[in-house]
């Protein structure tokens, strides 16, 4: 437990002045006698989205038994600080429990947190009795919830299903998360450029290194993102990455609220239909993703681990891309 090294396990209360969604402001003091599950998350975080169905399920099953779930939304990217973006996200994701916006990382620091997602379970006395980092461990977490609920007299708790991830899964070496701004990003064919200004990049490579981004065309490399701001008649400007994974996801949005488009090619051919992610559609024989809201877009989802050169092409002048994430496991 993270607080044990300080010789205490009392849960820090919510900082005053935070913005709340789905609820008026709450305090842990006012929730004494209940069991509280805190979920540190961000709405474009892939691992957070993977755990979200379980968090929602626990709230639905155990809320009437005395469990309060509170999402602590701590943004990784600047667009996640905007209240309207978070409101859209929790509506789209079907989140009914209270969500507090931790834009200044006040709660993050109080809990000495370093990870998305992370869950803290607080008992009836306001003490932290369990915490979990990342995905998985769902049966263990639910068991801790039930134990805390039984201490307040909850009856008729359902049996806990075992984690389906025990055995049978497989993981391979995977391309790491790729950031696209100048603070954390790196580009293979970028020479001298002015951060925040549009530059003209040329990809004349015949061989490509793995796990690095190549740019071609007019791109603006910002602090945390890559923007294409030159509208073109054809989608012949792109970013390219040679990757290894089962799945690929893209965090992106539109600069002006109007739909931007990207076209996806794998090894110089339109992305095959059988590995298209849920956000990809076939338009005139091309694999197209329409980008509008700032969020995570699922662009590749394959049953087979594979390697390839992914080309993300665009002609839109309002496209902003923040990062690429890659999935290296199946059956877990």
Dihedral of CA atoms 17, 19, 25, 26 in degrees, nearest 10, equals: -90
Handedness of CA 93, 99, 104, 110 (dihedral sign): negative
CB atoms inside a 10 Å sphere around CB 296: 21
Handedness of CA 39, 45, 49, 50 (dihedral sign): negative
pLDDT, residue 2, reads 47
Give the chain's mean pLDDT: 94
210 near 176, Cβ under 8 Å? Answer: no
In this structure, which topology does domain 4-150 adopt according to CATH?
Glutaredoxin (3.40.30)
pLDDT, residue 217, reads 96
Q: What is the mean pLDDT of residues 245-254?
A: 98
Boundaries of every domain in the chain: 4-150, 178-330
Check whether 175 has a pLDDT greater than 50: yes
321 near 238, Cβ under 8 Å? Answer: no
- List CB contacts of 258: < 8 A, sequence separation 6 or more: 292, 318
Helix, strand, coil percentages (3-state) for the chain, rounded to 5, are: 15, 35, 45
Three-class SS state of 16: coil
CB atoms inside a 10 Å sphere around CB 112: 11
The model carries a pTM of 0.93
Q: What is the mean pLDDT of residues 290-294?
A: 98
pLDDT, residue 164, reads 64
Of 18, 58, 26, nearest in space to 149 by CA: 58
Q: Which CATH class is domain 178-330?
A: mainly beta
Q: How confident is the model at residue 190 (pLDDT cuts 50, 70, 90)?
A: confident
């Amino acid at each position: 437990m993270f607080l044990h090294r300080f010789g205490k396990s009392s849960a820090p209360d919510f900082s005053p002045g935070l913005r709340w969604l789905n609820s008026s402001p709450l305090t842990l003091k006012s929730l004494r006698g209940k069991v509280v599950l805190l979920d540190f998350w961000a709405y474009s975080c892939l691992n957070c989205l993977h755990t979200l169905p379980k968090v929602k399920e626990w709230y639905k099953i155990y809320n009437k038994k005395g469990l309060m779930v509170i999402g602590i939304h701590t943004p990784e990217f600047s667009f996640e600080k905007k209240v309207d973006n978070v409101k859209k996200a929790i509506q789209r994701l079907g989140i009914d429990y209270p969500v507090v916006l931790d834009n200044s990382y006040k709660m993050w620091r109080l809990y000495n947190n370093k990870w998305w997602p992370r869950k803290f379970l607080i008992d009836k006395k306001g003490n932290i009795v369990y915490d979990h980092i990342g995905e998985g461990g769902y049966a263990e977490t639910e068991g801790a919830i039930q134990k805390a609920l039984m201490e307040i007299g909850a009856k008729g708790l359902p049996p806990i299903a075992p984690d389906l991830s025990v055995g049978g899964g497989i993981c391979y070496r995977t391309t790491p998360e790729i950031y696209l701004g100048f603070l954390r990003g790196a580009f293979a064919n970028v020479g001298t450029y002015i951060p925040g200004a549009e530059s003209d990049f040329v990809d004349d490579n015949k061989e490509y290194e793995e796990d690095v981004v190549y740019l071609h065309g007019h791109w603006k490399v910002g602090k945390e993102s890559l923007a294409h701001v030159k509208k073109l008649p054809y989608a012949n400007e792109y970013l390219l990455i040679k990757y290894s994974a089962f799945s690929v996801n893209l965090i992106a949005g539109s600069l002006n609220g109007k739909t931007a488009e990207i076209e996806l090619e794998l090894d110089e051919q339109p992305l095959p239909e059988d590995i298209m992610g849920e956000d990809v559609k076939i338009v005139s024989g091309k694999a197209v993703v329409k980008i509008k809201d700032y969020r995570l877009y699922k662009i590749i989802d394959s049953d087979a681990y594979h390697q390839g050169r992914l080309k993300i092409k665009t002609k839109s002048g309002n496209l902003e891309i923040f990062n690429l994430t890659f999935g290296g496991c199946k059956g877990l």
